Chain A
Amino acid sequence: KNQVEQSPQSLIILEGKNCTLQCNYTVSPFSNLRWYKQDTGRGPVSLTIMTFSENTKSNGRYTATLDADTKQSSLHITASQLSDSASYICVVSAENQFYFGTGTSLTVIP
């Protein structure tokens, strides 16, 4: 069964600290993996996209990694800011479908 699981479900960190979000998937055949950021009351916005041959991709303070062998991805946020408070969703695509994780809710506190 094609699934995407994210952990932790929620996370609270202090402003300025780093954090790492995890995504494990069983989707096959793998096409690509995306990380989205969804602010409260907004739709998801794409942060990074990686294919099978890419194992790291950065977008500012966001760095995503992919291990296609173990079917794991992580999103590392460096020097967190209050505006990073949001839900982060991992999405894995197969040949013609998207599979969404339930997201990690991140709260950054001053």
Chain B
Amino acid sequence: ETGVTQTPRHLVMGMTNKKSLKCEQHLGHNAMYWYKQSAKKPLELMFVYSLEERVENNSVPSRFSPECPNSSHLFLHLHTLQPEDSALYLCASSQELVTSGGYGETQYFGPGTRLLVL
């Protein structure tokens, strides 16, 4: 295992539901990330947190709301989603934020939450 856990692993929700995805890392890392993975598309970076502060938001719709209460936990709150939001949502962490260049940081990914919006 990579040291990054995600719950739930599978989620089916209606468009009017509110749900939350949880990510926890046991690696002592300072940076955490949310990605969306759709079939036949590259991973899309959604949110980046460093030391519990959001540092990047890649034009993600407001129906996705992240929360980082501490450096070990990351949540993604979901509200009034659309069917096209169905995808695999991956959480990742790295020791430091990926801005250092050079040899760079390795991201450790969780197993993902498979989301289906009906």
Contact = CB atoms under 8 A, between A and B. Distances in A.
B103 A49 contact: yes
Nearest to A42: B111
B61 interface: no
Nearest to A105: B40
B101 A31 contact: yes
Contacts of A96: 98-99, 101
A42 B106 contact: no
Size bracket, chain A contacts = 20 to 34
A44 B33 CA distance: 13
B2 interface: yes
B42 A95 contact: no
A43 B103 contact: no
Contact of A44 (B41, B98, B99, B109): B109
A101 B102 contact: no
A43 B111 contact: yes
B66 interface: no
9 contacts: A9-B40, A41-B111, A41-B114, A42-B112, A43-B4, A43-B111, A45-B109, A46-B106, A96-B98
